Amino acid sequence: MSALRAAAFPREPVRARALAGTACVFPDLAEYGHAVFGADPVRLEAQAADPLDRFRLVAPVFVPRRLAKLIDLAREPTYRDVELESVVGGFRSAMPVYVSAFGSTRTMSGDLGLAASRQAGVLGIPLVIGENVMPVNGYGRLGGDAEGTLVGRIRAYAAHVPDGTGGVVVQQSTEDADAEVWNCAYSDPNVQGLLESGRVAFELKVGQGAKPGLGGMTVLDEVAAARLAGAFAIDRPFGSANDMVLRSSSPGTFTEEILRQQVRLMRNNFPRARVWVKLPPARDVRAAAMAAWEAGADAVTVDGAEGGTGWAPLAFLQHVGLPLGECLRRIGEHPSCLLVSGRIWEGARAAKCLALGASAVGLGRAALIALDADAEMGLIHLVECLALELAMIVSALGKYHVAELSPEDVWLPGE
């Protein structure tokens, strides 16, 4: 068992869930009957910095929808009657959850990438494959080892996903245009089954949470860097004696017109694929999201500043970008599918996002930590915990479909 570190993330509870599953949704069973429980004021205090943490979910006494469900079922409904099946960016998904892109971050190369694909498939939830998996790990069609490549991950997903459910989302950003990631996937025989059943999306990566305004960054050794030198900027911030170098992508230049036309071109070139657009937690996030939706994007994904799995300058991790809660507030009412990610690992934060306008939530770091804890079942266990909590919360709010969550279900102290 390795020990993927995640200092800025509740790593231990995620690992516990990955290893033990839904038992971790509750306090330690051994304490049952021997201890009293309640909210932890220290933890509540610590949460104050994150707008989403400051929100509380608040259940009503009067529950007309529970009455409707009672009439429908002819018995009192419980949380087990909550429907979680959702439409996520044009795909039917077992629940309003998807696995975010991890990119080619070293922690994600190789086996964990395949494990993520397999388990997302089993769960019947969409899987996003990071923009630079193909430029860095290869496509995997001609010869060699397909493991960890784009094709390897798509195959692993397709082999496990139930018919009619889920979907695979292939990311591309400005500099990957050189590698024609989308063209490659769209014309590939391995992808045809998913394409024909409407379960492929392409995600235009406009930016990301951990380093809004910067492009992708990876640390590589000199040998790997030399192979990529033509396509990416290579820098040596770690000193000339160090053989590790920094590979940076450009963030890409966008105006409203550039974004609009890129979305249109995607719809033009790939009529059988869904179009997703991933935005950074930028101050004009609403304008960008609206431009993408109006141009016909099936989903806009927003990564809060607390999100991200990859290498980023400390200044960006600590000081740049809007937290997810503020992104949701700025976007407000909107016409189409909004997907969000940023420190999501359990059901309450997911429920708050859904109540505040998201259609689904993405698991990034949490999925990585879970897979690192248990490569066979970690992600499945983690998502089962989240689904159980979500069902309990939705039921407590007097609702029986997860899509019914709305702003009335949350309270922000002071408002």
Partner 1 sequence: MVLEQSAGRPVPAVPREHLSSPVTKSVLTIQHHMLIAARGFLRDRGFTEMLAPIIGPVTDPGARGAKQVDVDYYGHRYKLMTSAILYKQASLMAFDRIFCVAPNVRMEPLETASTSRHLAEFHQIDVEVAGASQDEIMLLAEELVRHVVRHVMAEVPGELERLGRDTSAFAGLLSGPFGRLTHASAVADLADMGHDQNPAAEIDWAAEELLSRKAGKPFFITDYPKGSRGFYDRESREAPGRLRNFDLLAPEGYGELCSGSEREHDYAVIIARMRETGENPAKYGWYLEMVREGIPGGAGFGLGLERFTRYIAGLDFVWQASAYPKIPGVPLP
CB of 252 to partner 1, least distance (A): 8
Closest CA relative to residue 4, chosen from 374, 414, 392, 369:
369
For residues 105 and 129, the answer to whether their CB atoms sit within 8 Å is no
Contact 209, 304 (CB under 8 A): yes
Q: Which is nearer to partner 1, 263 or 350 (CB)?
A: 263
Distance of closest approach, residue 239 Cβ to partner 1, in angstroms: 27
Smallest gap, in angstroms, from Cβ of residue 266 to partner 1? 8
CB of 245 to partner 1, least distance (A): 19
Please state the closest distance from residue 139 (CB atom) to partner 1, in A. 10
In what helix (H) or strand (E) does residue 6 lie, and over which residues does it extend? none
Q: Scan for tokens 């429980």, then name that residue.
A: 37
Q: Which is nearer to partner 1, 9 or 254 (CB)?
A: 254
- The residue (of 196 and 408) whose beta carbon lies closer to partner 1 is 196
**Nearer to partner 1 (CB atom), residue 130 or residue 347:** 130
Q: Are 297 and 278 in contact (CB under 8 A)?
A: no
411 token code pair: 């309270």
Least CB distance to partner 1 at residue 270 (A): 6
Strands (E), 89-211: 91-93, 97-99, 127-129, 168-172, 200-205
- The least distance separating partner 1 from the CB of residue 202, rounded to whole angstroms, comes to 10
- 47 burial (CB, 10 Å; 0-12 / 13-18 / 19+) is middle
Pick between residue 24 and residue 168 the one whose CB is nearest to partner 1: 168
Angle between helices 378-396 and 365-373 (to 10 degrees): 130
Burial class (CB in 10 A: 0-12, 13-18, 19+), 74: exposed
The DSSP line for 190-222 is GGHHHHHTT-EEEEEE---SSSTTS--EEEEEH
Tokens at 66, concatenated:
């529970």
Are 361 and 89 within 8 A, CB to CB?
no
What CA–CA distance (Å, rounded) separates 91 from 44?
A: 36
Smallest distance from the beta carbon of 108 to partner 1, in angstroms?
24
Nearest distance in Å: CB 342, partner 1: 26
For partner 1, the closer of residues 173 and 341 by Cβ is 173
Residues linked to residue 21 through DSSP beta bridges, in sequence order:
none
Cβ proximity to partner 1: between 3 and 265 the closer is 265
Structure tokens at 340: 């969000």
H or E stretch at 141: none
- Of 251 and 357, the one with the shorter C-beta distance to partner 1 is 251
Report the residue number, 189 or 335, with the smaller CB distance to partner 1: 189
In the complex, minimum distance from the CB of residue 123 to partner 1, in angstroms, rounded to a whole number: 28
Q: How far is CA 336 from the centre of its chain?
A: 18
Q: Which residues contact partner 1 (rule: CB under 8 A)?
A: 172, 174-175, 177-178, 180, 183-184, 186-187, 189, 192, 204, 230, 252-255, 257-258, 260-272, 295-296
For the residues of 16-76, what is the DSSP string, one character each?
A: HHHHHGGGGGSS-GGGTTT------HHHHHHGGGSHHHH-EE---S--HHHHHHHHHHTS-
- For partner 1, which is the closer residue by CB, 132 or 359? 132
Taking the complex as a whole, how short is the minimal distance between the CB of residue 295 and partner 1, in angstroms? 8
Q: Residues 6 or more apart from 227 whose CB is under 8 A from it?
A: none
- Judged by CB, which is closer to partner 1: 295, or 383? 295
